[in-house]
Structure 1
């Protein structure tokens, strides 16, 4: 892909939700990306700057899959709920003018024809994407990102299940009213949901090729994920050796921070970073606990999409995310 091109046009399908708005804000500050159009059935006719400050005044449209394909846009982002992407993908695959399609839903995470990419883990190097157009990228899930970043550096040392206890802000439940984003339900509360066979449990187990169990919960704060992971080693380990593993593994990745102290959501909210820390190893060296924190709307969705777009364009993955 030609990374010397000055700018690339980008269209977004679905901006009513929290992630779509976060993505709009990131594209606005990106030196290589230009919003060409935005499609949303429920927000048709509104100017973009109603959603995001300092945004374009172009009006939101309600575009059919065929109309989206006819736009001849360089990059298309599907920010739709699960189950709605395929008509747009089918139309875009017939029109080879689009260079990149990136889907933020779970629709293609298990499809071998799509690139599944956590940039720090999946060895998809800068500019080394498939040559066939359009390049199709499936963005990982938010919980799945937090879990994989914490388990991947040490998975070869483990035995048995990695047990993951996740707590998300209620933005993870979306904008459609449910008991999990009802502030009266959440006040002074912590609510578990989908406690067996959550989709992200399957996602992590398959992508890491390692079994995990996952218990998600939602709390009364708006954004962020705190993931506590309990693991068992096949051979005794020391805290120092495991901590060095993490430092070495992420030495070349600016957006993953490894620290000795327990991470907090305040460190990651409104940032594209993952902070991993709080590593505690049992006295016999056989068990450990580690905590991974991300912003579910950014590193768990929108900013990770920007990383993946940057890589597909052959430019530095943090462009538009760090100053």
Structure 2
């Protein structure tokens, strides 16, 4: 979602980078000790205590999301590329429970202004009720417990040839359950937002 509006303006020979920081719920779970009924408990693979207040980088290259996103985004180019489109994704886990903040740094093939970039996001997501486009950099605490995605903080380097944009969402809602509801609704012929609270953002 961070890259899609920019794809016509991306230089495919100079890959963009996304630095993502997820709450520790995004690192998955493992089987813990048994409960009082003898059933195994599910506990986070990485806990806030494990992180000791810091963030921890992991899967620094070839993360599955890096490969998935590169493949899907390559389909947004108007003409086939000579070589596969590749983005760099650097995931990190943080000592909060839920919420992901992602910072995109994307080289551009032409000089652009921040207001031009802003208009690309407005045009792409204007009719998306679960997307909030804002001027300020979104904070992960604004996204926590919400069903939508926030994007903002658009800044262009002084050269005009590199843009930085920030997105935030709740990985357990918009990143998982809410997205699942949307997909099921569409497949089954229901309204896309059926079952999703009206105050989603």
Structure 1 and Structure 2 fold alike (TM over 0.5)? yes
Q: Which of 154, 176, 181 does residue 46 from structure 2 map onto?
A: 181
**Scaled by the length of structure 1, what TM-score is found?**
0.52
The match for 1:281 among 143, 153, 156 is: 156
The residue number in structure 1 matching 2:2 is 150
For structure 1, the residue ranges without an aligned partner over 5 or more in a row are 1-148
**Rg larger for:** 1
Instruction: Please point out which of 135, 143, 153 is paired with 1:260.
Output: 135
Q: Residue 156 of structure 1: CA displacement?
A: 1.0
Structure-to-structure mapping, 1:80-229, within 5 angstroms: 149-159=1-11, 160-176=14-30, 181-209=46-74, 210-229=85-104
Question: How much has 1:175 moved relative to structure 2?
Answer: 2.3
Report the Cα offset of residue 253 of structure 1.
0.5
Q: CA deviation at 1:183?
A: 2.8
What's the counterpart of residue 272 of structure 1?
147
Tell me the CA shift for residue 180 of structure 1: 5.3
8 Å contact kept, 2:111–2:161: yes
The CA distance in 1 between the partners of 2:45 and 2:113, in whole Å, is 39
Counterpart Cα distance in 1 of 2:44 and 2:148: 29
The one-character-per-residue Cα deviations of 1:148-195 (angstroms, maximum 9, x if unpaired) are x01001111011111010100000112216995133221211101110
Q: Secondary structure at the match of 2:30?
A: coil
Output aligned runs, 1:37-116, within 5 Å: none
Determine the C-alpha separation between the residues in 2 that align with 1:221 and 1:305: 23
Give the number of equivalent residue pairs: 175
> Once superposed, what is the RMSD of the aligned Cα atoms?
1.5
TM superposition score normalised by structure 2: 0.83
Q: Indicate if the aligned counterparts of 2:140 and 2:168 stay in contact, CA closer than 8 A.
A: yes
- 8 Å CA contact 2:155–2:163 kept in 1: the answer is yes
Given that 2:27 and 2:46 are in contact with CA atoms closer than 8 Å, whether structure 1 keeps it comes out as: yes
Which protein, 1 or 2, shows the higher relative CO under an 8 Å CA cutoff with sep ≥ 6? Answer: 2
Q: Would you say the 8 A contact 1:158–1:231 is kept in 2? A: yes
